[in-house]
Amino acid sequence: MATIYHNLSEYDFNSVPSAEKMRFGIIMAEWNDNITIPLMEGAVKTLKKHGAKEENIIIQTVPGSFELIFGAQQMIKSGKVDAVIAFGCVVRGDTPHFDYICQGTTQGLAHLNTISDIPVIYGLLTTNNMEQAEDRCGGKLGNKGDECAISAIKMLDYIWKIKI
Ligand code: DLZ
């Protein structure tokens, strides 16, 4: 979580393993794409900064955050990626819809993590307003896309190490 004490883009560069041999799938929701595009761009930039190759980063879109679950599942099934990063942004509205989408998407992505061997990184922003989302996609609290990219690299490194 981003706070005034924690910027989403700050991390210890030297603690991050090389991503040179890693393959990433990024899936992003079209809803609120003023937020999800910067999240995706932040992730791509950070993955490349740590050695990921352009040809090893697949990017796909789905209509809304709720579809991230199915989209991520299909990416896993494709066998073309080692990790999936899912980006969405749900902004609270006047009805309980916000809660259903947030809970459904979160539970769906969590479930994928338990049933497959591929880590699914949680890049869903759930905010009370658009300003809070802007703060977290390259604004004053950094970019959650950066944080997700680092998590993806570290989880793959973790898996590859315990398989040895
Ligand atoms: C319907 C809907 C609403 C109201 N709000 C959002 C949102 O803030 N962010 C988002 O990513 N998607 C939203 N959606 C769309 C749903 O995620 C989904 O695409 C539709 O309910 C169709 O399944």
- Domains of the chain in start order, with CATH, are 28-162 (3.40.50.960)
pLDDT in tens, 17-44: 999 999 999 999 999 999 999 999 999 9
Nearest residue by C-alpha to atom 9 in ligand 1:
90
4 three-class SS: coil
The predicted model scores a pTM of 0.96
Between vectors from CA 37 to CA 65 and to CA 101, what angle results, nearest 5°? Answer: 15
Q: Mark whether 97 is an active-site residue.
A: yes
Three-state SS sequence of 78-123: HCCCCEEEEEEEEECCCCCHHHHHHHHHHHHHHHHHHHCCCCEEEE
What share of the chain in percent tops pLDDT 90? 91
Write the DSSP symbol of residue 10. -
pLDDT bracket for residue 164 (50, 70, 90): low
Helices (H) then strands (E): counts for the chain: 5, 6
Mean pLDDT of 114-129: 97
Q: Which residues line ligand 1 (CB under 6 A)?
A: 29, 31-32, 63-67, 88-91, 93, 97, 101
Place of tokens 């998407």: 105
Q: How far is the CA of 101 from the centre of ligand 1 (A)?
A: 7
Contact 62, 68 (CB under 8 A): yes
